[in-house]
Structure 1
Amino acid sequence: MAIAYPEFRNTRCTRFRFRYSECRRCLDACPHEAIVLADDGARLDEARCRNCGLCIPACHTGAWASASFKPIDLLRQAIKQPSFSVACAPSGLAADAIIPCLGALSAAFVAYLGKRRIPLTLLGSGHCSQCEHGAKGASQLAACLDAAARLREAAQEPDKEWLEPQLSDAAPRVGQTAARPTPTARRQLFRRLLGRGVEAIAAPQSAAPPPAPDKAIRAGAYAGTEERELLQIVCERKDGQPTLIEWHEALPLMQLTLKPGCTNCEACFRACPTGALQIVENPGEWSLAVQVDRCVACEVCLEVCQPRVLDAEARFDARPEQPPRVLHSLVKQRCARCERFFVSATPQEHCPICADDEDAFAQIFG
């Protein structure tokens, strides 16, 4: 299957927004070492690229996209049919849709069809050991299926059972519906695909990045993603119960918390590529808030926070249309010299600008 080379949109990339970001999701997903990272984003080595499409769902901010592989178009095709089958191109199997690699599917795609009760058959997973996309494709597919299963467990209502996808290496018969494996059988299937436990896939990787100056943050327009919008539908419940889900690397979902020690530097707000972090001001108060619906779990805010007080909850409510959550709030103070309003964690007589002027004057004139 020939598709256009993936296009890189740098302003969506966390490495562009924060010069010292250590994000490497796209590089880790690429089986062919075709992605080169830099402090202003990434670039594609077309001589190495094999059009597997694995970089597209790996990036939570949507920095990678392809003109000829659009998961949202597959979804539009699927919802018009009573059942839907997808095959990977290297397997040579026939299906309703042929994609470069099954690992290029997202958990939101699989979960949405399950919620709509559209039987989904994925063809070609048995070909992974002979495929040039190899273990990376199988690993990403296993993570996708595990994340979709967690979405089902969190958002499924008692009277509305979701369908689970069926993996097969033979084309389904006409009118055949997708089987619903038990949770135990499903996890054994994931282990067969990946060769190791599902728990290892979902384990968060923690590495404390070094502090960075403000100049390392680049401005850019806010941009959401189609997958995050799709998850709004997937995570919605009509029974009013919370959609409690655990953090998962394959899901662009996260809930932030803030420990004591915030310096009000606003670096997290300026680095956020989706506008999930917001500064809310009125004449008497300054607040840092997070809009959960816009967060895609890119984690750049955790990297840019120099006092390391931002963190992510291990389990949280992913229901859509929640009001912004205030993480930090301070009463504004007024400078005795310039009468500017400013915020500080402790009472101060002068604003930072006037205090800097005094320090500079003292250094020059003693």
Structure 2
Amino acid sequence: MGLFENLVGAFLKLTDPTPDYTGPRCLLERNSVGGCDKCQQACPHQAIRLENFTVEIDEVRCTSCGLCTSACPGLALEFPLGSIQEKLHRGKGQLRCSRAPGAGDEVHCLGQLTPGLLAEAGARFGPLTLAHGDCAGCKIGGPSVPERVQQIAEEGRRYFPGLEVRLQQEPLAGAEVGRREFFGALFGGAKRSAAELMPNLPLLPEEPYEDKRAERPAELRLRRVAAIQAQSVRWPRIAVGEGCTLCPVCSNVCPTKAVERERSPSGEEYILKLDVSACTGCGACVESCPPQVITLTEADRVEVLGGPIELYRGVPPWYDL
């Protein structure tokens, strides 16, 4: 592919309104018991189809509202969060949607916000102010956006309990921005745009399908940053009770590789471990566990910021097979 084709492809990528889809983190593709249709239910424009155990997004119907991304339990649907985080920082915790009047930075729709974005900004700036337009008549996100943002904020309080979010329809005054901050933001935006437009050189083979689960989503990184600043957290985690057969189902269905199964050095036991900071609380392992011995609970700050914890160990009943 030549330079021109790469530039055209990069431009289309920048203007493509659909969220990025990472199939290995989708509960449908992971064959979780009960499946999942939360993204389809959240979409106000019927732009999402669930076919052949995968998610297909209609680029014509999609308005880039982002409501599907915050509804996805496995974080398989994402918008790039760096630019939104930068806008929250530049506005010192103030942000408005593209249909809201007033000054300050804007995002296409407040539905693109995530618990991690709000928690990290709240930990840094204190109370956040989010302005929205007439959602009832908006063709981007629709009337459900304010309620959904409140739900996102409530989820964000799991990672930073002090999070305060004010939703308003009044014009946003906007935070004052100095010359240095303005030119710094302008230069930073230019660098990012140039990086996006540079052609990708095919020097390395494409990453294996399963390895993509090991990539820590930006949302999880933001949640962890917020947890570092918090006094306490209510991070979701799982617990494994007696009766576990140490089969690989929980590790297979986990969308973020939070659960891993490994063999002990002696070779006689198997060990289930959990990276708490990678757990989304999706419940896929709970629903899929054959003996139904996995439950959802909450982790404290020490467990989130520490290394993997041991969930269960033992000699599986099928060891001699």
TM interval, shorter chain, is: 0.7 to 0.9
Work out whether 1:71 is the aligned partner of 2:81: yes
- The counterpart of 2:65, out of the listed 49, 52, 58, is 52
Distance (Å, rounded) in 1 between the aligned partners of 2:64 and 2:57: 11
1:226 paired to 2:218: yes
Q: Give, in whole Å, the separation in 1 of the partners of 2:240 and 2:309.
A: 11
Where 1:142 maps in the other structure, the secondary structure is helix
Give runs of aligned pairs for residues 1-366 of structure 1, distance below 5 A. Answer: 4-18=17-31, 20-66=33-79, 70-79=80-89, 81=90, 83-89=92-98, 91-117=99-125, 120-124=128-132, 127-132=134-139, 133-153=141-161, 164-173=164-173, 220-221=210-211, 222=213, 223-237=215-229, 243-245=232-234, 253-281=235-263, 282-283=265-266, 284-313=268-297, 315-319=298-302, 320-331=304-315, 343-344=316-317, 351-352=320-321
Q: Which runs of 5+ in 1 are unaligned?
A: 157-161, 177-218, 246-252, 332-342, 353-366
| Contact 2:104–2:173, Cα closer than 8 Å, also in 1 | no
SS at match of 2:236: coil
Structure possessing the higher radius of gyration over alpha carbons: 1
CA–CA distance in 1 between the matches of 2:175 and 2:96?
18
* Aligned partners of 1:220 and 1:273 also within 8 Å: no
Change (3 A) 1:286 1:105: same
Letter in structure 2 aligned against 1:168: Q
Q: CA shift at 1:290, angstroms?
A: 1.1
Measure the CA separation in 1 of the matches of 2:35 and 2:301.
26
TM-score by length of 1: 0.65
CA shift for structure 1 position 111: 1.8
CA change 1:302–1:38 in 2 (3 A) is: farther
Instruction: Provide the C-alpha distance between the structure 2 equivalents of 1:229 and 1:169, rounded to a whole number of angstroms.
Output: 30
Q: Which runs of 4+ in 1 moved over 4 A?
A: none
Residue 170 of structure 1: CA displacement?
A: 2.8
Following TM superposition, by how much is the alpha carbon of 1:144 offset from its aligned partner in structure 2, in angstroms? 1.3
User: Measured at CA, do residues 149 and 261 of structure 1 come closer, stay the same or move farther in structure 2, by a change above 3 Å?
Assistant: closer
Matched AA of 1:273: P
| TM-score, length-scaled by structure 2 | 0.74
Question: Could you say what secondary structure the match of 2:65 adopts?
Answer: coil
Question: RCO greater where, 1 or 2, for CA within 8 Å and sep 6 or more?
Answer: 2
For the aligned residues, what is the CA RMSD?
Answer: 2.7
Is the alpha carbon distance of 1:24 and 1:97 closer, same or farther for their aligned partners in structure 2, counting shifts above 3 Å?
A: farther
Counting aligned pairs with the same residue, the percent is 26
Q: Deviations over 1:209-255 (max 9, x none)?
A: xxxxxxxxxx72223211111111111258xx6x242xxxxxxx421
- Provide the rounded CA distance (Å) in 2 between the counterparts of 1:88 and 1:306: 45
Change (3 A) 1:236 1:289: same
User: For 2:111, what is the secondary structure of its paired residue?
Assistant: helix
1:78 corresponds to which letter in structure 2? L
Counterpart Cα distance in 2 of 1:294 and 1:150: 14
**In structure 2, how many angstroms separate the alpha carbons of the residues matched to 1:168 and 1:92?**
10
CA contact (8 A) 1:6 1:65 kept: yes
- CA-CA distance at 1:268 after TM superposition: 0.9
The range that moved more, 143-152 or 293-302, is 143-152
Deviation at 1:44, TM superposition (A): 0.9
Secondary structure of 1:328's partner?
strand
Deviation at 1:266, TM superposition (A): 1.2
In structure 2, the residue corresponding to 1:312 is in which secondary structure? Answer: strand
Q: Which amino acid aligns with 1:220?
A: E
Point out where structure 2 has 5 or more consecutive residues left out of the alignment: 1-14, 177-208
Aligned length: 269
Q: Helix, strand or coil for the counterpart of 1:17?
A: coil
Aligned to 1:191: none
Question: Could you say if the C-alpha distance between residues 109 and 272 of structure 1 is closer, same or farther in structure 2, counting changes exceeding 3 Å?
Answer: same
Question: Residues 117 and 6 from structure 1, CA distance in 2 versus in 1: closer, same or farther, beyond 3 angstroms?
Answer: closer
Contact 2:160 2:229 in 1 (8 A): no
Q: Is the 8 A contact 1:30 1:136 kept in 2?
A: no
